[in-house]
Each structure stands twice: as C-alpha cells, then as structure tokens.
A = this chain, B = another copy of it.
Amino acid sequence: MFHHHRELAYTVRVDKPNPVFARMLQQAIGGPEGEMRVMNQYLFQAWGTRGPKKYKDMLLATGTEEIGHIELLATAVAMNLDGMPSEKVEDVVTNPLVSARMGGVEPRHFLSAGLAAMPSDANGVPFNASCIDVAGNLTANLRANVAAEAVGRTLAARLRELTDDPGMKDMLSFLIARDTMHQQQWMAAIEDLGDTFASAPNDVPDEGDYAKHAYAFFNHSDSPDAELGRWTQGASLDGKGAFAVGDPRAVAGPEPELMGGPASVHAGVEATRTNGGGRTGVVDKVKDAVDKIT
C-alpha cells in the first residue's frame, strides 16, 4: 500500500522555461532509460520475489523512490512549459542553437496534455512495458537493474549537458547522484548474494561437453582485433574456466532439412511439381525431395 507526501523528492526550480528542454526531459520519464521503466521494474520484481524478505523490501523501497522521481520530472516538464506561448519563452525556442542541438518542441505537450508531461519519451512514443525486465531470477533481476541505472545515469548526464538553467542542473545532479547510489546498491546486492561474477541463473552448471563452449570466444568476424582482450585469456570471472578462442565451425550442425508441409497449409509446394517453367536441373532434385516426403 502506498502513500503520497506533498513535498517533492527534491527541489524543482526552473529559471528559464524552455519547452524544447521539456521535450528532452520526457526521455527520462517514458523512454527505456527512464523512471517509468525502473519504477515498474523494481516493483514488479519485488512483488514476485519468493526469497528472503530483505531483497523484496529493498526493491519495494527503491521502486517507491522512483515514483517520486517521475513526479520530479513531470513537474519539471510542466514548469518548462510554463507560459509556453509567451515572448520570453519563444526567444528560447527560436534560438537556432537550441534547435540545432535539440530539435523542436513536442506538439503533444500543447495538443494533448495542455502544457503538461506525458507518459512518453522525447519523441512522443508512448511508454511500452516491453523494456521492463522481470526475470524471476534474483541475480538476473539485479543485473538488469544495474544496467537500467547505467543507461539512466548516462541519459541524465547528457540532459545536464543540454541546459544552462541552474535549477535544472541542480535537479539533474541530484538524480545523477541517486543513480550512482542505485547502481552501487544493485551491485552490492549481487555481492550480498555471493554472485558477484557468476552467470545467472547460478544453479545451472555447464557440464560435460558443454563446458568447452562456456568459456570460448567464437570470432564470427574476420578481424583478429576482436580477440585482443581480457575475454580470450586468463581465468573466467566466475573462476570456473579459462577464456580461450574457439572455432565455431567445430560445432557446426548440418544444413537443416524440413519436411514438406501438408496441403492444408497452402505453402505453394505442390506448385513446385506442376509449374516447371524456366527451371532446369533443379526441378528434378526438388521433385525427388518432395516425392520422398509426401
């Protein structure tokens, strides 16, 4: 059960409203790098956690913090849209350097939301939950959370580059700091589980012949540079193997052969037999194959 407090999670102050920056902030609300993603990711992970209570409760605590971050950003969007059609704001928007770096306004801020934030990204694409990782494995979940904070902090750092507004810089610096904590927090939780470098899920060993493929780099390119790194030499990070370069051709399987489909599929296979125009040589081979199957 949740409760709302009137105070914001941090001070939101906009000195020079800038509708184009409002559009940029939307990426941090409804983009795959944004707060709607992490909020839902942490809460849904928590609601499905069947293990120790402390992990579930920590996920709930931080998922709840993230709802407040959506609130921060939605408020910042609305404040950047304040007085949108006024002259002062138009100065900012018609500045050619602003457009050169950020593009134009998001028309739905006016058309659909009446000068308010939308549950969308910087291009007005509505939030889509297919970017939410709810893996049902605690380590995999935590790794997904480290990743989500890494892309989120990168976004926040870039947003800070785009504004000179002191209030916005302050809010983004706070959000960057929280992203630092959350990245560190999920890494600490992985350590807490004892899984620092294990592959998730950690209860599925690679045994027998498969172990050979579990630490070999397959170079599917003609670049030798691709092999010049830690990933082809030394012990694997989980301590269970040694990195090496493997040859993908050594495990290649035979070219696949599918059965002919039944007539009810209308795949056009029967046409193969009745329409021979222009084909030579191949036709007989195909006929044989088809005859053998049907």
Assess whether B275 is in contact with A195, with CB atoms less than 8 Å apart. yes
A275 to chain B: closest CB distance in Å? 3
A216 to chain B: closest CB distance in Å? 6
Q: A51-B270, A104-B104, A117-B47 are in contact. Are A9 and B253 (CB under 8 A)?
A: yes
Residues on B with beta carbons closer than 8 Å to the beta carbon of A123: 106-108, 123-125
* Residue with the greatest number of chain B CB neighbours at <10 A, chosen from A101, A120, A159, A220: A220
| Residue from B71, B143, B229 within 8 A of A1 (CB atoms) | B71
Interface string of A247-290 (1 = CB under 8 A from B): 01101111110111111111111111011111101110110011
Assess whether B54 is in contact with A229, with CB atoms less than 8 Å apart. yes
Assess whether A223 is in contact with B57, with CB atoms less than 8 Å apart. yes
Assess whether A57 is in contact with B261, with CB atoms less than 8 Å apart. no
Interface string of A64-96 (1 = CB under 8 A from B): 110110111011001100111110011001101
A251 to B263, CA, bound (A): 30
* Residue with the greatest number of chain B CB neighbours at <10 A, chosen from A3, A132, A258: A3
Q: A44-B116, A48-B116 are in contact. Are A108 and B94 (CB under 8 A)?
A: no
A124 to B44, CA, bound (A): 15
Q: 7 pairs across A/B with beta carbons < 8 Å? A: A61-B219, A67-B67, A68-B248, A178-B214, A188-B243, A193-B269, A229-B282
Assess whether B115 is in contact with A119, with CB atoms less than 8 Å apart. no
Q: A113-B48, A137-B267, A185-B231 are in contact. Are A124 and B121 (CB under 8 A)?
A: yes
Chain B CB within 8 A of A166 CB:
no
A180 to B144, CA, bound (A): 16
Residues on B with beta carbons closer than 8 Å to the beta carbon of A184: 197, 199, 214-215, 231, 236-238, 241, 243
Assess whether A136 is in contact with B115, with CB atoms less than 8 Å apart. yes
Copies in the complex: 6
Q: A61-B4, A115-B136, A236-B184 are in contact. Are A47 and B27 (CB under 8 A)?
A: no
Assess whether A226 is in contact with B268, with CB atoms less than 8 Å apart. no
Residue of B nearest to A11 (CB): B253
Residue of B nearest to A184 (CB): B236
Interface string of A196-211 (1 = CB under 8 A from B): 0101111110100011
Residues on B with beta carbons closer than 8 Å to the beta carbon of A258: 48-50, 75, 78-79, 82
A93 to chain B: closest CB distance in Å? 4
A293 to chain B: closest CB distance in Å? 5
Residues on B with beta carbons closer than 8 Å to the beta carbon of A133: 32, 147, 151
Residues on B with beta carbons closer than 8 Å to the beta carbon of A30: 129
Q: Which 8 A-B pairs have the closest CB atoms?
A: A114-B136, A48-B116, A194-B275, A103-B104, A123-B124, A11-B253, A138-B268, A94-B96
Assess whether A229 is in contact with B122, with CB atoms less than 8 Å apart. no
Residues on B with beta carbons closer than 8 Å to the beta carbon of A149: 199
